[in-house]
Amino acid sequence: MSATDTLTTAPAAVAEAGDPLDEQAIRRDFPILSTEVNGRPLVYLDNAATSQKPRQVIQALVDYYEKQNSNIHRAAHTLAARATDLYEGTRTRAAAFINAPDSREIVFTRNTTEALNLVAYTWGLEHIHKGDEIIVSQMEHHSNLVPWQRLAEAREAHLKYVPLTPTHKFDVAAFTALLGPRTKLVAISHMSNVLGTIAPVQEICRLAHQAGAVVVVDGAQSAPHLPVDVQQIGCDFFAFSAHKMLGPTGVGVLWGRFELLEAMPPFLSGGSMIGQVQWQRSTWAPVPQKFEAGTPNIGDVIAFSAALDYLTAIGMERVRAHEREMTEYALHVLKEDHPDLQVYGPNDLDWRGGVVSFNMADLHPHPHDVGQLLDDQGVAIRAGQHCCGPLHLALGAPASARASFYIYNTRADVEALSHGLQLVKKTFRPRRRP
């Protein structure tokens, strides 16, 4: 058995293809889900921020530090060879997961944010010039907005925004109208972390390429929840994070077309990313090592393999079907039990992922108060702007509360959320005078 085989893992129970997920069997793989919060069973609905980790991923991390801990790509001893084999095995798995043509196109970073900054500071500074145009959408996370703001400012370029339709979908007609001869870059979130809106990235790439633009897709929310095929999408760069898809924190992935990565200058410089170093100049290692300076996050990258194996064994089509069911049920229950809620995002589930953001329109508690009161009931949601300040301005809301689903969530979790919101209403409803 090779070193890469030792960490091949799968869920405790995998149904036949086409069958729904067995949530209870899956839940048994997640130790944290047996935790109590404030004396109540944990109901974890903050998956858009980070997912929980199955014991297979936790054990993979322990195994690395107990059995293979060594630096990679350098020493000739056995532990170094094992660690390198495992690390590069994750690169192969990540490439297969998104159907990348070549595993050398996978660059490991700290997170999606760093992956997007890498593109901005390498490809962007080389190719964006005064008067050029960069197009983003109104639903972008700050990670897929602020780097392009800074690039536009540094190069005296123009940043343009694609609006949302009244039903919170990506406005393809408006996007088409914004494209022009000066459009050099289009950066789009595949799935909104606030609205759940799924952008038609394949059509966006087709239109952008017709205009001669390069397309960056922020896949932080889509890679954990949807089948992703970068060749089918047709994008030029795709970025995502391990921690949102059952993996450890501190690991991001940038996929880029090989010819683009090969032509780009390094992002960080120092050890590991060099070819030769002389007194006055240096040359660079080939892709992807050129972009992986210094000692990387070896253990967490290796443990990410277990997460990729886990999701692959389940099947991303099944993951998508389960979350669609959870979202449909949540929208139904919230509408029935809380007709006064202002819920954001498309009603069309073909356009929506497993995210439900809302505000209590009649009582006007701050989302942080909603989150705190739900936490008292053991229900974990997110409250705030979710790193989407401009989007909340467009929505006319200072902030929102957000529930987000994953493979271990059940209808009982949705019902716990609804029950918790009833208690929130009782807390904020003005008492009647006798």
Number of residues written out for the chain: 434
205 is catalytic: no
> Which of 205, 235, 387, 388 is labelled catalytic?
387
CB-CB neighbours of 127 under 10 Å: 16
Give the relative orientation of helices 411-428 and 316-337 as an angle to the nearest 10 degrees. Answer: 30
What are the start-end ranges of the H helices in 179-285?
201-210, 230-233, 258-263
Which token pair is 113?
Answer: 């944010």
Question: What 3-state DSSP class applies to 339?
Answer: coil
Which residue's entry shows tokens 């501190």? 250
Dihedral of alpha carbons 416, 418, 419, 420, sign: positive
Distance of CA 132 to the CA centre of its chain: 28
Closest CA to 252 of 244, 242, 261: 242
Query: Of 205, 220, 167, which is closest to residue 352 (Cα–Cα)?
Result: 167
In angstroms, the CA 311 to CA 10 distance is 8
State the catalytic residues. Answer: 387
